[in-house]
Amino acid sequence: MSSIELVPGLAGIPAAESSVSFIDGQAGILEYRGYPIEALSEHSTYEEVAWLLLYGELPSASELAAFNKDLEELRVLPDALVAMIQAFPKTGHPMQALQASLAGLGMVSPKVNIKDADSRDQAARRVIAATPVLVAAFERVRAGKEYVAPKAGLRTAENFLWCLDGEAPDEVAAKTLDCALILHAEHTMNASTFACRVVGSTENDPYTSCSGAVGALFGPLHGGANERVLNQLGTIGDISNVEAWFEGKTERKEKVMGFGHRVYKTKDPRAKNLQILATEMFGKLGNTPKYDVALKLEQVVTEKLGSRGIYPNVDFFSGLVYEKLGLDTDVFTPIFAMARVSGYCSHWCEQMLDNKLFRPAQIYKGEREREYVSIDKR
């Protein structure tokens, strides 16, 4: 009998000491480097937040200007990488394309010396700068369109929209996306951040580490939920169907996508902010009937499951925002990823500063010391 007790999913078990972000799941608080997410999403830009996550302080105006200049240069993809993305099967999921593209980015970038702060920094910035361009590039390719290179003078969100359409981005759309990127940039030791740190702990560069993290983020229990939320709202169709649909789900013991969280036992603060963002945007660009279905679903699920701490999570409203921006459903999770790489890279840097290879234990349940049976006797 083993004396070690298994904690499924490592729930509640610390995997690292970190000062990147903080969550109070009962009170619904999320802070990046001590700053409440509400203040950052109201007053900051995504680039300011990426700097804050990487370096622990809000940037001065000159630091931010230099950072933006650096990101602008690092956003330019080498031809070999564009050619690689153009060769991807068009039927692949954009998350699969992103996972491969991030590994490809490592193949065309200078070798990272993880012991050197400048080298680490440059690689982290390259990942943050290039990821949105990688996502947009595959969107173009799979639609049979020409690659659009990033444009100087545009920031992350604007550039992403530019690279998608090859047209000057709409101001409301760019502002909304910028805010959504802030809200998705970091979230403590979730599955994909943990994956990033595990891959990094073998002294891997941030390209490989973030590629691994993107694989973890793809799953429906993690970032993949936002895509399913929208499909779910489409299936329900009308507010009059919500209650019957929910009863059916409960009878089949199926989960409602966009609800519940391992840490938050109240409404996810990011969901609150995204809802504000969504309503502001619908006010400017017109309402969507799916939002009414979403509100009714929130009411029904909260009535039935709220006492068990099951409330809307970040994925519940993000899909509605992205759909209104005209984005394809299966590109929602890559947008999550292109925001989250700033969190991944901050964790990767933290891991490199005090690295220990992750090598957990297991509780062995199999047989032992068996007698080998030759193939003719089996």
Ligand X SMILES: CC(C)(COP(=O)(O)OP(=O)(O)OC[C@H]1O[C@@H](n2cnc3c(N)ncnc32)[C@H](O)[C@@H]1OP(=O)(O)O)[C@@H](O)C(=O)NCCC(=O)NCCS
Sequence-distant (≥ 6) Cβ neighbours of residue 362 within 8 angstroms: none
Looking at 184, 261, 268, 347, which residue is catalytic?
A: 261
Catalytic residue among 178, 187, 315, 347: 315
Query: Residue 2, class by beta-carbon neighbours within 10 Å (0-12 exposed, 13-18 middle, 19+ buried)?
Result: exposed
Instruction: Candidates 40, 85, 225, 242: give the one binding ligand X (CB under 6 A).
Output: 225
Q: Which stretch binds ligand X (CB under 6 A): 14-22, 59-67, 155-163, 251-259?
A: 251-259
Interface with ligand X (CB under 6 A), residue from 163, 242, 256, 278: 256
- Provide the minimum distance between the beta carbon of 298 and ligand X in the complex, in angstroms, as a whole number: 12
Find the binder of ligand X among 32, 207, 245, 259 (CB under 6 A).
259
**Minimum distance of ligand X from residue 220's CB (angstroms):** 7
| 319 in contact with ligand X (CB under 6 A) | no
Which of 261, 324 has the CB closer to ligand X? 261
Establish whether 376 is a catalytic residue.
Answer: no
Q: Which is nearer to ligand X, 115 or 308 (CB)?
A: 308
**Residue located via tokens 């068009």:** 90
From 93-101, 136-144, 274-282, 308-316, span contacting ligand X (CB under 6 A) = 308-316
The H-assigned helical ranges of the chain are 37-43, 46-55, 61-74, 79-86, 94-107, 117-142, 156-165, 171-184, 191-200, 206-217, 225-236, 242-251, 269-285, 289-305, 315-324, 332-353
User: Among 75, 120, 175, 261, which residue sits at the site for ligand X (rule: CB under 6 A)?
Assistant: 261
**Cβ count near 78 (within 10 Å):** 14
Catalytic residue flag (residue 315):
yes
Q: Could you tell me how many residues of this chain bind ligand X (CB under 6 A)? A: 16
Q: What is the rounded distance in angstroms from the CA atom of residue 119 to the CA atom of residue 211?
A: 19
Q: Taking Cα atoms as reference points, which of 321, 342, 338, 319 lies closest to residue 133?
A: 338
Residue whose CB is less far from ligand X, 186 or 205 = 186
The answer to whether 341 contacts ligand X (rule: CB under 6 A) is no
- In whole angstroms, the minimum distance from the beta carbon of 38 to ligand X comes to 18
Site for ligand X in 165-224 (CB under 6 A): 221
Provide the minimum distance between the beta carbon of 249 and ligand X in the complex, in angstroms, as a whole number. 7
Check residue 310 for interaction with ligand X (CB under 6 A): yes
Q: Which are the contacts of 89, defined by CB distance < 8 A and separation ≥ 6?
A: none
Residue 257 touching ligand X (CB under 6 A) = yes
Q: Is 23 helix (H, G, I), strand (E, B) or coil?
A: strand
User: CA angle, 261 as apex, 313 and 33 as ends, to 5°?
Assistant: 80
d(Cα 149, Cα 98) in Å, to the nearest integer? 17
Provide the binding-site residues for ligand X, judged by CB under 6 A: 221, 225, 255-262, 305, 308, 310, 313-315
Supply the residues annotated as catalytic.
261, 315
